Chains A and B, each alone.
Chain A
Amino acid sequence: MDKYKSRDKPERVDSHESRRDFLKTSSILTAIAVAPATVAKAAEYNLGEKISTAFETTPVNLTVNGVKKQLSVEPRSTLLDVLREQLDLTGTKKGCDYGQCGACTVHVDGQRVLSCLSLAIMQEGKQVTTIEGIAKGDELHPMQKAFIKHDGFQCGYCTPGQIMSGIACINEGHANSKEDIKEFMSGNICRCGAYPNIVKAIQEVKNGGQQS
């Protein structure tokens, strides 16, 4: 419906967004897919503005664990759901789904964030690292090794989030003492109470000077 109507003749964009502008912009987006060269200029005038309709899936480019992915997502899809359901990266866990447990922690452009409160469509062009992306081939990441050595998990459900958060905690410079680690790891909730061993694991990696 909308898409067909949008093939109306384009007109000038003014600063007030009207339905016409909206249709026009989405026609540009549609057109990019069809004929990149001719409309690249038009897209430039739009300064990268992007508009999606409510029901249309929209293309999003992400680099996930070093691999470029071109995805098609609904505006309401969270990064967590896209990782787990579209990319089959189920290492990142869904705990509360409301920002309260840290199980879904991933790194976006090197910073730890909660993927359950991140809309996938807002991550355009970003680098996402999940628990699947930290080992080097068969060689586990030092934090993974330390978790195993110090028995830092019991049921293991919170573990991927804890590990991603632990790595970030060191990188941010907030792992200088036990108290510091506890405070800056407090966004990761473990039902089993594996905390003492998690703290030990982080301390060991920190003291080993390994930082990423």
Chain B
Amino acid sequence: MIQFQYERASTTKAAVSALANNANAKIIAGGTNLVDLMKRNVMAPTKLVDINALPLRNIKQQNGKVIIGALALNSQVADDKLILEKHPLLSKALNAGASAQIRNMATVGGNIMQRTRCSYFYDTALPCNKREPGSGCGALEGVNRMHGIFGTSEQCIAVHPSDMCVALVALDATVVVSGPKGERRIPFEDFHRLPGSQPEKDNTMQKDELIISVEIPDNAFSKNTHYFKVRDRASYAFALVSVAAALDMDGKTIKEARLAMGGVAHKPWRLKEAEKALAGRPANEETFRRAAEIAMQGAKAYKHNAFKLQLGSNVIVEALKNAAGIV
């Protein structure tokens, strides 16, 4: 790890100005992603701004929404009573990610900002447009088993690795960020970007902004939810494909549905057309199969990840069945 300067910020304003004054400064929260990337020389900030002293750890209910501070730990959110009661989907997604030790360190803000796990991105000896714009993409013609099937570009086919974010996009969350001009609210769907010709940009936040909190509006999706994650080993591995499903049921009929996928795109992938196809329909295998078919339209596989097309469809059906309680 190269040397860097370390600063402990005591106010949000100080953190923002530290970022604004140094193009090579980075926020550090739990450090579970950043320290790893710094050890491997994938990222080399010259200054770390430690935000752990900021009062951003609380989880509270306010004005029809649950507000989660950016420094709330993944384990803290997963075990929180309010979250378990109102948004169990989020709790399930969190517990499907990483390990207990890492969840005790990982923060909500850091989880949203974590970078791709594309192995070419991690290997500084190989080309990667995300790490080094213009250098090429090792994964395009390489081993791309873990890579994207939706919204990829010729520049980058990496996926966003977070489980938590798949639940948050399904729950219509909003990210609140703070910058030199004050606070700004970004709908979760618009927060992460597709790679396009600028895969080095993971999201729509400015360099001198920081995440303050995440807000989830109250909803009627707490009773029938499921997070289904398929990975190469039983636990402690990133998703090949994951699905967050939430249903608002009226007896055996689906009033409304929420559906999102992980491990398939550069961002947590919300499936709105499939949601529409579920609304007003009876909760059964046939409905779920049709929704899955709609969900997978437009998916495009690469040499090693064609299995994700069928897998994705199956995982959607299983997640919906589990959410509906008909397994």
**Interface set of A (CB-CB < 8 Å, partner B):** 15-18, 46-55, 58, 74-76, 78, 97-99, 102, 105, 111-114, 117-119, 121-122, 165, 168-169, 172, 174, 182-189
Contact = CB atoms under 8 A, between A and B. Distances in A.
Interface of B: 1-11, 13-14, 17-18, 20-21, 28, 31-32, 35-36, 38-40, 46, 48, 50, 52-53, 75, 98-102, 104-105, 234-236
A99 B32 contact: yes
Nearest to B73: A111
A119 to B, nearest CB: 6
Nearest to A185: B100
A48 B53 contact: yes
Chain A interface SS verdict (over half): loop
Top 9 A-B residue pairs of the complex, sorted by shortest distance between their CB atoms = A187-B99, A75-B6, A47-B10, A186-B235, A54-B3, A50-B8, A186-B236, A52-B6, A76-B1
A53 B31 contact: no
B103 to A, nearest CB: 9
Nearest to B122: A98
B36 A113 contact: no
A58 B6 contact: yes
B3 A165 contact: no
A49 B7 contact: yes
Contacts, number: 118
A15 B36 contact: no
Given A15-B13, A76-B38, A117-B105, 10 more contacts: A17-B21, A50-B6, A75-B5, A76-B1, A76-B2, A99-B32, A99-B36, A112-B104, A113-B101, A168-B100
A55 B3 contact: yes
Contacts of A16: 17, 20-21
22 contacts: A17-B17, A47-B10, A47-B11, A49-B8, A49-B9, A51-B5, A51-B7, A51-B8, A52-B7, A74-B3, A76-B1, A76-B2, A76-B4, A98-B39, A102-B99, A112-B104, A113-B104, A117-B102, A119-B48, A172-B75, A186-B100, A187-B99
Given A17-B21, A117-B32, A119-B35, A169 B5 contact: no
Contacts of A122: 28, 31, 50, 52
Contacts of B48: 75, 119
